Amino acid sequence: MKKFGKPILAFILFLIIQGIVTALAGIVALLINADALSAALQGNQDAVGAALMTPTFLGITLIISSLLTVLAIRQLKMMTISKAFCTGNITTSITITAVIAALTGITATNILSEILDLPNIIEAQLTDMSSNIWGILAISIFGPIAEEVVFREAILGGTLRKGVKPWAAITFSALLFGLVHMNPAQIPFAFCVGLILGYIYYRTGNIVLTSIIHIINNGTSCLLMYFYGDKADDIKISDMLGGTMQGITAAVILAAVCVGVLYLFKKYTHKIEYTDQQPYTQDIPEPVSSDTHSDSENQIQD
């Protein structure tokens, strides 16, 4: 359990910062909004909630908490920005395979989430935020980067550097990533996405590609909600494919493609040794194409 101490601290810190920033922002919002303050003093909780749940308030709050989270993780020495975002070992082949693997895997997971049809308890807030510049920035850029810093760099990287087996570290970080969303419709989806992003991080040692993929995913969702509003949730890939069975079939095929492309991605990357003495990435030789790898290199055990 000692190996998970600091990573768990990063998770708790993430939640605490969000809670504190939201509370303080709520107090400020009440003080500058006479009607909301009057409603609060009269015990009208609905009026207070309506005043505090505006897309501008939610967006700015998320941006501030994201920035403070990154700063706090850095202050705890759980990351170095220059190393976390180092592109030295990111080649075109690595980028293309990582993005294709992630997008096919994310689409497969999204189809299965549609079929499960779990309740989306924050759909209204997400839709409103997607039509507001502060909400778009928070959901598409600041939120994803902060989450990559916490769940991939601090939690996953932290457990790997403590000697936790890769599969256990990736699963652990993905589980926390799923649970932190606290929205039934997002939890299983986020867990599966966390597994994919976790493997990409494990093979690259930085959050460059995972941040890009995370931004693409969230940005795409924002665009759909911006153009379609409340109807965005009714646009289901499984329905476009013809029904539940066709959707499941497509999801299985896409998942298989994801696994296959991740295998190719592995061949383009080099194994990284995670140790306390070398807490981030080691000096990694330039990746070579898969056709020049020897059989012994292709059989590196993870």
Structure confidence by residue, pLDDT tens digits, 276-286:
754 444 444 44
DSSP string for 13-67:
HHHHHHHHHHHHHHHHHHHH-HHHHHHHHTT-HHHHHHHHT-HHHHHHHHHHHHH
Mean pLDDT along residues 171-185: 94
Confidence of residue 289 (pLDDT cuts 50, 70, 90): very low
Give the closest residue to 179 by CA, choosing from 25, 8, 64. 8
The rounded Cα 156 to chain-centroid distance in angstroms is: 12
Q: Which residues of 208-232 are buried (b: 16+ CB within 10 A; e: fewer)?
A: bbbbbbbbbbbeebbebbbeeeeeb
Between 290 and 249, whose confidence is greater? 249
The answer on pLDDT for 17 being more than 90 is yes
Lowest mean pLDDT among 4-18, 107-121, 226-240: 226-240
Which of 100, 119, 120 shows the shortest CA–CA distance to 108? Answer: 100
- Mean pLDDT for 60-83 is 93
Distance CA 162, CA 153 (A): 13
Domain ranges in the chain? 81-298
Is a pLDDT exceeding 90 seen at residue 232?
no
Percent of the chain residues past pLDDT 90, beyond the cut: 59
CB 134 within 8 A of CB 55: yes
Do residues 287 and 91 make contact, with C-beta atoms less than 8 angstroms apart? yes
- Span 235-244, pLDDT tens digits: 778 778 888 8
Would you say residue 298 has pLDDT above 80?
no
pTM attached to this predicted model? 0.87
**pLDDT confidence of residue 277:** 52
Q: What is the pLDDT of residue 300?
A: 38
Residues across the chain: 302
